[in-house]
Structure formats: C-alpha cells, structure tokens
Amino acid sequence: MSSKEIAKERLQVILVYDRAKIEPKMIESLKEDLIKAVSKYLTFEPDNMRIELSQEDNKSILRIDIPLKD
C-alpha cells in the first residue's frame, strides 16, 4: 500500500468518526466493555478483536469481529 493510499484511508476513518460524532476514546471504552461481556460466555483472544466504523449509504456502520477459539 502506498503512502498516498494509507493517507487516504486514514482520512476516511477520521471523517467517518467525525460524522458519527464518536471519539476514538469511546471506541476503546466500548472494546473494553465488550471484552468483559463476551468473555463471560465465549472463549476468544481479545487481541484479535476488531472494531470498525464505516460509512455506507449515508449511514454509520459499526462492525465488531470477534474470532472465537475452537
């Protein structure tokens, strides 16, 4: 990935967070709370958990990926 592509991707992430009025600190707090809640019921590696905020059809989409252990 070129420097230009990386910069473009970072700018898109910043714009999505700004439009959704969500601060990165809030996403980190959400991640911590999700780890606590999900770990009560399922086995997974918290380091592999991904939280992604994106923009689709003028809507903010929050995606949470939690790969489970076998």
Q: What is the pLDDT of residues 11-70, one digit of tens each?
A: 776 666 676 677 778 888 988 999 999 999 999 999 999 888 887 888 888 889 999 987
Kindly report the number of other CB atoms within 10 A of residue 51's CB atom.
14
Taking the mean position of all CA atoms in its chain, how far away is CA 69? 20
Residue 48: its pLDDT value, please? 92
